[in-house]
Amino acid sequence: MPREITYNWLDRPAELTAQEALFVSRLKANEDAAYDELVRTYSASIYHVAYRMTGDAAEASDAVQDIFLKIFRHIGGFKGEAALKTWIFKIAFSEILNRLRWWKRRHRFTTLSLDESPNGNAPSYNVAHASPTPEEILQAKEREDAIEQAMWKLSREHRSIIVLRDVEGFSYAEIAEVLGISIGTVKSRLARARADLKKSLMCYLSVRHL
C-alpha cells in the first residue's frame, strides 16, 4: 500500500524564482558582484547558525569561510531543484556537522560565556528601561545563560531543528531539505526538542524562585 503524503502546499519546498535563476546564472558566470552580493546576503545568517551549533566564535568564523568556498566551488552543479537559500544551508549544515564531529573528538563543550555573543561583542539585552538597573542586567544575563545551557543539553539533531526553525525561521520543508530528513521527522524532532528545552528552563525557573 503506497504511503500517504499528508503535508499541505505550505510544507512543499520552495521553487527557484526567476530572480534567483538570474542571480545563479551570474554566479555561474563568475561575476564578482554576484559573489559579493551572495556573501552580504547570507554570511550573517550562516555565522549565526554556526555559532549556535558550535558555541565558539573562532570556529564559527572559520566555518563560514569554508562554507562559502564550497558554495563557490559547487555553484556550477546547482540545478535549481530547490530554493538557493535551501541549497546554501544544506552545504552549510554539512560543513558545520562535520566540524562538530571533529570538535567533539578534541574538545569538551564548555558553557558559553555570559560576556560573549556571536559578533564577539558584549551581548545586548532587550529591557524595558533606557537605563536598566544592575539587577535587571544580571537577570537578563541569567536568562540568556539558562537558554544557552538548555540548548547545549539538546542533541545535535534537536539543536539543529531548533536553530533552523525557531531561530532562523525556516519552514518544515526547508529544514527537511537542509537536513535530509522527512517533514514528519522534522515535526517530531521539533516537538521533542521544544519539550526538552521547556523542561530545562522550567528547572531553571524553579531553582530561581527557591
Q: Which long-range contacts (CB under 8 A, 24 or more apart) does 117-120 make?
A: 118/47, 118/48, 118/51, 118/52, 118/57, 118/60, 120/57
pLDDT digits (tens, 9 = 90+) for 147-180: 777 888 899 899 999 999 988 899 999 999 999 9
d(CA 201, CA 90): 30
The answer to whether residue 123 is domain-embedded is no
Task: Cell numbers for 189, please give them.
Answer: 524532532
The answer to whether residue 60 is domain-embedded is yes
The answer to whether residue 168 is domain-embedded is yes
d(CA 38, CA 72): 10
d(CA 155, CA 151): 9
**Alpha-carbon distances, residue 203 vs 178, 189, 210 (angstroms):** 32, 21, 11
- For residue 156, the enclosing domain spans 9-118+129-208
pTM: 0.70
Domains of the chain: total: 1
Position 53 pLDDT exceeds 60: yes
The answer to whether residue 2 is domain-embedded is no
Position 139 pLDDT exceeds 60: yes
The answer to whether residue 135 is domain-embedded is yes
pLDDT digits (tens, 9 = 90+) for 96-113: 988 887 655 554 444 433
pLDDT digits (tens, 9 = 90+) for 17-39: 888 899 999 999 999 999 999 99
Q: In terms of pLDDT, which residue wins out, 205 or 98?
A: 98
User: Are the C-beta atoms of residues 31 and 41 closer than 8 Å to each other?
Assistant: no
The DSSP output letter for 166 is I
Position 47 pLDDT exceeds 50: yes
Q: Is 25 helix (H, G, I), strand (E, B) or coil?
A: helix
pLDDT given for residue 101 in this prediction: 78
What CATH number is associated with residue 83?
1.10.1740.10
The answer to whether residue 4 is domain-embedded is no
The answer to whether residue 124 is domain-embedded is no
pLDDT given for residue 34 in this prediction: 95
The answer to whether residue 1 is domain-embedded is no
